Structure 1
């Protein structure tokens, strides 16, 4: 840990800071199963296609979108809950619940029960801790290093998703069997794996749950919240003086920040990009099985996407500490919009699909990395942390909205046609950059 901090020019003599950061790394390394859902869901869908005769992919996608409503509410109030019950207590309780829910989902033969344990309870347990863990890590280091700290934590999350995808694929479909069972749902064809392959799902879940427990539980015990943050004391005094001069309460200031132009533009970008995630990323293997009938190649794309995404966390964590966030926004929105619009044209060519998908994944991870530092830079540490929780509802809202929208659009449009529409909307969102032209990040 000392060598890593020295290489990144992050200075601290606190053993608690190093322990908290290593704990955050371990916790995130054990949480990738939730983020890997878009890459492995086809195996679970295939399992319930054989064992639950009422199962449909359309229902599963709609239910998953609805689950995001609850997850979004949890993420919104996560920091406030942590402040009331204690950051350490919340993180350790959720760590245990996460493991128990993953293991419990392995014995479910009805999709609705699996959905409740894995997609709802396990996801809520993770999302309840995501921002509080970052908050604990930020509290241990100087504010100028927040981008690097965020980047490293999210890098570990990407690595965890990478290993989760690889291990689930190896445990369930090591022989690269094809999804040869075809079912028509609306205007789209859905492919499922055979029962011989999908029956391995429960055992794989148990094995992965045990693997996660050896990372999450020890990690949760190492994380601590630093109550007295000396590096922020001057800023806190300035904030108190500003409140006294303006005559506003803290809640009034937060409300003003919520409806400020920079935050609304930032929120809109996250909402639109979440629509891409909810539509294509969460269903990539289902989409890819109809374009390139090679499960291992699609898995390779997803694995490499996690590697590139992890690097993006580090790179954008460095960039946001050096450059104005406007340039990052322009890069991110242009790439996502343009590549989403053109993906249907190249989706049957392996190399091009590979390049398109990982490029979008790279800039999307960049957006998640810069979120915390940007909000803290504009609005300060305390208010910025609370706004980060509010910002997370843009992700959940975008995923929910596009799932509901897709439920109806897929009856009239193909998957590719919806991607064209989504790409155009994201691309033209760049005009909003002009609305935040004069904002400067607080240093």
Structure 2
């Protein structure tokens, strides 16, 4: 019987790991569809960013209450799952609490510490459910979250509550079986939380307790394997991607826009024709001016999209959104990820991308949204994991203006003045200092 369980467990674990690795490989392929961007400079500053933003969750503490709840869930869930190592080895080897004989009394303290964290996770997730579904916190109740995004958040919170409840129930049944001296249930020191729950199950027979403990054990580990495979389809994949995304955060000052060398050269050659290379030497641009679709963005932009936590801190800080404009930086990231997933499915089906008549701009993100952005960088400053919605917005706007000539009349007037007068105003260079002459005459 034990051998059958071992084989079944190994098959379950193997299938789960394979499916997870396959999906992660697909996401990696999608991210690398983006243009190349070199972000390997200054590794010291990058490691610091990763430590402070991803591990230390520095920006989360701008809102202390949700930050404390989040770090309880984050730290608790990560540390508790260290116990999964023992569960996996137990399943493979057909053992029960493999580490207990080696750790002695320390084992009980470790499990007790895990149980305290489990309670914190359980309580924090319950509070998050209340904030989302009863208190209706504005940034968690906006229209871009309708449907799957809202359900996704609730599914994860409920799953974590169930997994923590299974852990505590399993340990409580285990404690009673230890006290009854049942074979394979090695005596340990009392667990800090579950030892107080044994009264709920004391009246059960030994057979029923074994069935309860084993059922909780299986549901707990199968739940974790299922959770592992759910992550890549969920916004909660940021649990993993927050670390590389924080590491590769751009180190240039916020608000510094990346110039397009091709455009700079065109302006330079217009002003100083003698510097223009002969036609044979001038290489044509290899990509669009700006970005029309996800393939025109950089791999870092696409990593940003997959790393988005959908927390809405960017949108709640956006002055355009706060004044009723269509723009939501969170929606920009969600739309980019959705379009990238669609492109990935297209490649999976056709072996290479086949034009589907769609693009990120127009079909997912509207012109109205893009024009509403004030480029104030509030969204970039607010993001807890270093995501830059503004970078995507700027590139999409560049495409609209430079390839579609799609811009408001006021912008076109300014562009014309800059082109003809080298200034935004409708005055020729020769007349620009006339105000000084008038001042002198007075």
Using the size of structure 1 for normalisation, the TM-score is: 0.23
Using the size of structure 2 for normalisation, the TM-score is: 0.23
